[in-house]
A and B are shown apart, each in its own frame.
Chain A
């Protein structure tokens, strides 16, 4: 039995409110670099070289930097490339991981633990370690400068297998029993019964995977050697190298490179949190 005294409770509420304000201040500080780069993207060249520093751009309608950016380099193509690669790898890795996750969570077969450990250990090895041999493999089959080559390391993600297995283990077996009796094959069970029930995990996976694929750099740098196969990240670096010290232009390109991810995050962030929380509960 806990007896809480009114003023003790009040003190706690004060404390929590105080903490909330502190966290808001620090949260705002976290945003300052982002805000700063957005502001810079709207400034003109003389403005950024002004001392002392001015915070706000003279006009928020100054889109010259963005216009120039697209004029100088095919950023439209970069975006198209990044999106294509992200979509290919998203579809492939989700499909593969859902299948494996279901097998691990709901089907009995021999050596299950062994296979799971195998996949889990791949999860622990970063892709960067394997860039070199993978590049040589791609070169041998002629996938350098191709979308499949760009997407190759992302076609499968061990993390997805792990996430979906965690989630699906939490789904009661009776749903699957019922579906089996209702005449559904394993694939149909997966499609009609399991997938709708793991939507939070799917959303979490899509965000994380998309983010990973969109933000990749080393692999596309190595594999997309021609300019028309640059992804946004590679294009951003190429552009910045070309316009060294033109920070208004670089800022514009940087801001634009973040926007797609930001949109996805804003759209799905509720699911991301929910998905992570649920996989945590079940772990």
Chain B
């Protein structure tokens, strides 16, 4: 059981700075997810922790011991690769045993451990097969087994589910979650899939261009994105975002765009950096589609006139797209009340859930 700490870690390939000044602390038993779009340096960060890649500067510590110059084999970590990297010329059994064999463990101990892991992952029937004779899901499980069998201090995962089809991915995702709850090994997991991140993570690290954008629990990241980038990246469909002006009237603050004017409640002001809220400043206003509703209760206060553009039936819910003045919004509603495109109707917003970002789109 272990902690991992990254302190001012940077990485450049030649002149290309891929990771810059990453500070990160992963506590014992935590499941941390690195989330970000392709090319943002997630894999590189992970590979530096693994020792496959050198840091250009900064320190990596496992259990508060600097391990920058340790070989991967001396770090006691295990890694699951995106393409699994199972040794094609070894049977499943040999693949699982390889790491133990390299550590000169006794043959009988190896067999015992391998069988134990095989049972846990339901691989016992596949032990003599070669990787080429396995399905994608089975290969993935062998790759997991290879990591688990050594009982390492830290698990590293580099998009381990991205090569699987959607159904299998969901299935293995929950399997992974159960395994983690059972083993409680400190884990760092790289993905660009926000659903994976949300479901698996104790905490999510959102990365952008090699920098950490925000760290927080899935709830924090979702409900309180710190930057426009995070707000855009998390949530599907995306948060509605519009450029608006800040207007101070008496002691109240409004966000305006053309003739639309939205009052900002105290709760929002309290959690927003006051420097954003200067009179006349241009900011980005965001509200999630789930925080908008169709107002047919006749409650005129805080309702806007809207014109329906499109309704899309998603199953239990309906995605609607509509315009208020010349701003377009999307919302997820339980019932569209039969409103069809072109119709006028009224919408309400949960103003408490409004987000304000300094930078504009």
Contact = CB atoms under 8 A, between A and B. Distances in A.
Q: Verify whether A and B have any Cβ pair under 8 Å.
A: yes
Interface string A180-196: 11111100100011001
Interface stretch (A19-27, A111-119, A171-179): A171-179
A180 B98 contact: no
A193 B47 CA distance: 20
B104 to A, nearest CB: 9
Interface string B73-93: 100011101010111111000
B85 A177 contact: yes
A120 interface: no
B152 to A, nearest CB: 9
B52 A182 contact: no
A216 B79 CA distance: 50
B208 interface: no
Contacts of B87: 175, 178-179, 192-193
A197 interface: yes
Consensus secondary structure, chain B interface:
loop
B146 interface: yes
B85 A178 contact: yes
Contact of A175 (B51, B73, B85): B85
Interface residues of B, number: 24
Nearest to B78: A181
B166 interface: no
A57 to B, nearest CB: 48
B81 A178 contact: yes
B106 interface: no
Contacts of B88: 175, 197
B198 interface: no
Given A174-B81, A175-B85, A196-B89, A181 B52 contact: yes
Contact of A197 (B51, B83, B89, B146): B89
B21 to A, nearest CB: 25
Interface string B101-143: 0110000000000000000000000000000000000000000
Contacts of A172: 83, 85
Contacts of B83: 172, 174
Given A182-B99, A188-B102, A177 B81 contact: yes
B79 A181 contact: yes
B50 A181 contact: yes
Contacts of B47: 177
B71 interface: yes
A172 B87 CA distance: 11
A172 B90 CA distance: 16
Contact of B98 (A174, A177, A192, A197): A192
A181 B73 contact: yes
Interface of A: 172, 174-175, 177-185, 188, 192-193, 196-197
21 contacts: A174-B81, A174-B85, A175-B87, A175-B88, A177-B52, A177-B79, A178-B86, A180-B52, A181-B50, A181-B73, A181-B79, A181-B99, A182-B99, A182-B102, A183-B103, A184-B73, A184-B98, A188-B102, A192-B87, A197-B88, A197-B89
Given A181-B78, A192-B87, 12 more contacts: A175-B85, A175-B88, A178-B85, A178-B87, A180-B51, A180-B72, A180-B73, A182-B146, A183-B102, A183-B103, A184-B73, A184-B98
Interface of B: 47, 50-52, 71-73, 77-79, 81, 83, 85-90, 98-99, 102-103, 146, 150
